[in-house]
Amino acid sequence: MVRPATRAGRIERRIARAERGPADAVDAGPSRRGRRSTPYLLVGPGVAWLVLLFVVPLGSLLVTSLKTGSFAEGFETAVRLRNYSDALSESWEAIKRSFVFALVATLAAAAIGYPLAYVIAFRGGRYKGLLLGLVVLPFFTSFLMRTLAWKTILSDSGTLNTTVDRLHLFGALEFLRLVPEGSDRLLQTNIAVIGGLTYNFLPFMVLPIYVSLEKIDRRLVEAARDLYSNAFRAFRKVVLPLSIPGVMAGSLLTFIPAAGDFVNAELLGGPQQTMVGNRIQSRFFEQVDYPAAASLSFVLMALILIGVLLYARLLGTEELTG
C-alpha cells in the first residue's frame, strides 16, 4: 500500500512541477528587492497578537490548573498536582466518552464525506461549483440552530423516531450500544450526540478531501485505469493513496472540535452522554472551581496533542501544516 502511494505521489509531483514552470521557481526564492527587516515588520503584529492571546493564556491556564483554594476563600498559586489526578479520576468516563464519540463521528463523517467529495470532484462536471456550494450552504446558519433542528427531527413523536421503532431497528442500535437497553427513543442517546457531531463537522471532512481529489492529475487516473483494467483497483492503487492527505487533514479537523464539543451532548444527549467539554464548562461556571476546570482543559489538550502527533507519525506530516 505504501510503495505505490509514494510512487504515484512522486509522478504526480513531477507533472505538477513541470506544469508550473519557472514562475513558481521565482516565488520559492527570496525576495530580491525587500529589505531584510520587511518580513518581520509584516509578521510582527500578528505574531505578537498570537503570542499574547494564545501562548500567554495557555501559560495562565497552566498556572491556574495548579492552584489551591476555593472560589469563596480565594485561589492561591501553588503546585498542586492532585488537581490533575482528581480531574482524571472524576472525569475519566467523560474523557473516554469524548474520544470514543469523536472517533465514531470522524469515521462516520469520512464514510459519508469521502464518496460525496469523490462524486463532486470526479463526476461533478459543470456543477462542481454548485455542488460544493450546496455542501457549505447549511453551515451558513447558526450552529446552535442546526443542532436544535436535529432535536426537532429526532423528537419522540417525530417521523424518524416512529419509523425506527416500527422497523424494529432499536434492537440493532441497542446491540451497537448506540442506544441504552430497552430504549424506544433517539433523543438523549449516544446516537443522537454522535449524529449531531458528525453532522456539525461534516464540511471539515468533505472540503479537504475534495481539495486533495481535485488536485489529482486526471491523466494519472486514466493511466491507472488502462494499467489496472479495473476501476476499483485503479481507485485503490492511485486515487485513494493520493487523497490520503485530504482524509488526514479532514479527520483532524473533524476529530478535534468533536472531542472538545459540549453543545451536541448538552442539546441532544442526556446525563449518560456527558463529554469532557461539558465537565470543563460546568467546573468553570457552575462549581466555579477554576483549578479543576483548568487542569481538565489541559488534560484534554495534552491527550489531543499526543493523538495528533501519533497520527502524524503514522501517516507523515508533509501535508499537515499546509
Partner 1 sequence: MTVLRRLAPRLLDAWAGVALLYLFTPIFVIVAFSFNDTGRFNLIWQGFSLDAWKQWTDSEPLTDALTLSIKVAAVSTLAATVLGSLIALALVRHRFTGSGVTNLLLVLPLTTPEVVLGSSLLSLFIDLGVSRGFWTIVVAHTLFCVSYVAVTVKARIRGFDWTLEDAAMDLGAAPLRTFRLVTFPLILPGIVAAALLSFALSIDDFIITFFNSGNEQTFPLYIYAQQRRGLGPEVNVVATLVLVVSFGLSIASVVVQRLRARPA
Residues 108 to 147 in contact with partner 1, rule: CB under 8 A: 112-113, 115-116, 118-120, 123, 129, 131, 133-135, 137-138, 140-146
**Of residues 114 and 170, the one with the C-beta less far from partner 1:** 114
Is 100 among the residues that bind partner 1 (CB under 8 A)?
no
- Residues in region 258-277 near partner 1 by CB under 8 A: 259-263, 267, 276-277
Q: Which amino acid is at 322?
A: G
Is 46 among the residues that bind partner 1 (CB under 8 A)?
yes
Least distance in angstroms from the C-beta of 121 to partner 1: 11
Give me the residue label for grid cell 496533542. 305
Is 155 among the residues that bind partner 1 (CB under 8 A)?
yes
Is 322 among the residues that bind partner 1 (CB under 8 A)?
yes
Alpha-carbon torsion, ordered 267, 269, 274, 276, to 10 deg: -50
- Residues in region 5-24 near partner 1 by CB under 8 A: 20, 23-24
Between CA 194 and CA 285 the distance in angstroms is 25
Least distance in angstroms from the C-beta of 50 to partner 1: 5
Is 239 among the residues that bind partner 1 (CB under 8 A)?
no
Is 162 among the residues that bind partner 1 (CB under 8 A)?
no
**Of residues 172 and 288, the one with the C-beta less far from partner 1:** 288
Residue 120 in contact with residue 135, Cβ under 8 Å? yes
Angle at 188 between CA 184 and CA 193, to 5 degrees: 120
Contacts with 215 (C-beta within 8 Å, 6 or more apart), sequence order? 242
Write the DSSP assignment of 28-93 as a string of letters.
HSPPSSS-TTHHHHHHHHHHHHHIIIIIHHHHHHHHHHT-EEETTTEEE----THHHHHHHHHHHH
Least distance in angstroms from the C-beta of 22 to partner 1: 9
**Of residues 180 and 225, the one with the C-beta less far from partner 1:** 225
- 298-317 mask for partner 1 (x: CB under 8 A)? x-xx--x---x---------
Is 210 among the residues that bind partner 1 (CB under 8 A)?
no
Of the candidates 180, 181, 203, 207, the residue with the CA atom closest to the CA atom of residue 193: 180
Member of 34, 88, 172, 317 binding partner 1 (CB under 8 A): 34
**Of residues 242 and 275, the one with the C-beta less far from partner 1:** 275
Measured N-to-C along each axis, helices 82-123 and 276-285 cross at an angle, to the nearest 10 degrees, of: 130
Residue 247 in contact with residue 240, Cβ under 8 Å? no
Of the candidates 222, 321, 318, the residue with the CA atom closest to the CA atom of residue 10: 318
**Span of 2-10, 153-161, 168-176, 179-187 interacting with partner 1 by CB under 8 A:** 153-161
Contacts with 80 (C-beta within 8 Å, 6 or more apart), sequence order? 66, 67, 68, 291
- 48-77 mask for partner 1 (x: CB under 8 A)? -xxx-xxxxxx-xx-xx-------------
